[in-house]
């Protein structure tokens, strides 16, 4: 391994590998012969992923809300592999409720993982990427990071936060050779709805046809989603090999159509308010 140029066998660090995209992505990266730091809150849940990867895979216990663990994992990765070429901020989960019925503790826990943990993880890896002169950060957000739906207000807020933050991050690190891409999946056939989704049931009748209806529909989609997580993982890998990686990658036909429709509507609405916008400035002398 020491005789192989580093960029021919890039080092990935993926958070949240026990299930879903993180697990499949780790397997697909290892299948290419590359090196991966495979993390999960319980490292025992990823032992099977690294079992046949020899020295190319390093399992690690990582809860992104525990910042001492973040520092320890990044230090261990640097000691083991000498670099981190791709950081995949995948750890996260969904929380659904009507806005009015959201539970404060659930909302804060959502942000601790989906937002503040992702921020801390990135801050820990950036010094290494700067020192090595490049890298790529993949933030797994969601269609909900670009479109808000009833019942998903707090989840959408967490993903919108990452999207806006990623714009600023890209502006700061792109000149340093570090790419930043947000991956926005629609419905994919993972166990997200079964294992990575929390809900606070809606009991207010006024929300029966909005938030409550969507909460029920989300729970019923497992196993029927059109999105293929293996194909999606391969797309993520391809993105990191591009000289100029995209800022956004929406995955799945449903998500692509939803995002394009919403952004066109938003642009038309903003452009329709142009005269009002200009009238807010001091008049020209």
Q: Are 142 and 163 in contact (CB under 8 A)?
A: no
Return the ∠ at Cα 27 (arms to 170 and 162), rounded to 5°.
25
At 138, list the tokens.
């993949």
Q: Would you call 155 a catalytic residue per the annotation? A: yes
At 208, list the tokens.
């029966």
Return the ∠ at Cα 32 (arms to 27 and 35), rounded to 5°.
70
> What whole-number distance in Å separates Cα of residue 226 and Cα of residue 176?
38
> What whole-number distance in Å separates Cα of residue 179 and Cα of residue 266?
27
Which long-range contacts link 264-272 to residues 24+ away (Cβ below 8 Å)?
Answer: none
Length of the chain: 285
At 270, list the tokens.
């903003």
Q: Which helix (H) or strand (E) holds 256?
A: helix 253-272
Backbone phi, then psi, for 133, in 5-degree steps? 85, 20
Strand partners, 40: 61
> What whole-number distance in Å separates Cα of residue 54 and Cα of residue 31?
12
Among candidate residues 67, 95, 154, 155, the one labeled active-site is 155
- Which amino acids are annotated catalytic? 155
């Amino acid at each position: 391994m020491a005789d192989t140029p580093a960029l021919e066998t890039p080092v990935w660090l993926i958070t949240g590998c026990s299930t879903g995209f993180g697990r499949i992505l780790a397997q697909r990266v290892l299948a290419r012969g590359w090196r991966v730091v495979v993390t999960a809150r319980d490292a025992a849940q990823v032992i099977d992923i690294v079992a046949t990867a020899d020295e190319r895979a390093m399992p690690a216990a990582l809860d992104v809300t525990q910042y001492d663990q973040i520092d320890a994992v990044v230090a261990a990765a640097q000691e083991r592999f000498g670099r981190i070429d791709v950081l995949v901020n995948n750890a996260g989960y969904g929380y659904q409720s009507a806005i009015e019925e959201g539970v404060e503790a659930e909302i804060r826990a959502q942000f601790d993982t989906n937002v503040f943990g992702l921020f801390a993880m990135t801050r820990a890896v950036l010094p290494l990427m700067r020192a090595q002169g490049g890298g790529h950060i993949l933030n797994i957000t969601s269609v909900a990071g670009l479109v808000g739906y009833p019942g998903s207000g707090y989840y959408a807020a967490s993903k919108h936060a990452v999207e806006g933050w990623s714009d600023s991050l890209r502006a700061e690190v792109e000149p340093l050779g570090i790419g930043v891409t947000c991956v926005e999946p629609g419905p994919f056939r993972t166990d997200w709805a079964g294992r990575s989704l929390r809900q606070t049931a809606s009991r207010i009748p006024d929300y029966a046809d909005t938030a409550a209806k969507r909460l029920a529909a989300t729970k019923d989609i497992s196993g029927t989603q059109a999105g293929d997580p293996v194909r999606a993982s391969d797309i993520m890998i391809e993105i990191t090999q591009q000289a100029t990686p995209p800022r956004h990658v929406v995955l799945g036909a449903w998500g692509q159509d939803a995002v394009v429709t919403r952004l066109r509507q938003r642009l038309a609405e903003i452009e329709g308010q142009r005269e009002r916008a200009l009238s807010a400035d001091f008049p020209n002398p």
